[in-house]
Amino acid sequence: MTEVVPHPFLFRFSLPVRRCDSPTGEPKRGKRLLDLSADFALPDLSELRGVRPIGEVRAAWNDEGLGFSVLVRGKKHPPAAEERTPTMPDGVQLWIDTRNTQSIHRASRYCHHFCFAPTGAGRDGEQPFGVQLPIAQAREATPLAAKGSLLVNAEILPDGYRLETWLRRDQLQGFDPAANREAGTPIKLGFFYEIRDSELGDQTLTVDASFPFSHDPSLWSTLELT
CB-based burial label for 9 (10 Å; 0-12, 13-18, 19+): middle
The whole-angstrom separation of Cα 188 and Cα 204 is: 20
Domain covering 16-225, topology: Immunoglobulin-like (2.60.40)
List the pLDDT tens digit at each of the 226 positions of the chain: 445 555 555 567 899 999 988 654 444 555 678 889 999 999 988 776 667 899 999 999 999 999 999 999 999 999 999 999 999 999 999 999 999 998 999 999 999 999 999 999 999 999 999 999 999 999 999 999 999 999 999 999 999 999 999 999 999 999 999 888 888 888 999 999 999 999 999 999 998 889 999 999 999 999 999 8
Give the per-residue pLDDT at 3.
53
Is 57:192 a contact under the CB 8 Å cutoff? no
Reduce the DSSP state of residue 166 to 3 states and report it.
strand
> Could you tell me which of 202, 200, 180, 177 has the C-alpha nearest to residue 192?
202
The whole-angstrom separation of Cα 183 and Cα 135 is: 30
Give the per-residue pLDDT at 1.
44
Distances (CA, A) of 164 to 6, 114, 174, 180: 30, 13, 22, 26
The whole-angstrom separation of Cα 156 and Cα 118 is: 8
> Could you tell me which of 193, 192, 199 has the C-alpha nearest to residue 220?
192
Give the per-residue pLDDT at 190.
97
pTM: 0.91
The residue extents of the domains of the chain are 16-225
> Could you tell me which of 31, 84, 91 has the C-alpha nearest to residue 55?
91
Reduce the DSSP state of residue 156 to 3 states and report it.
strand
Is 221:192 a contact under the CB 8 Å cutoff? yes
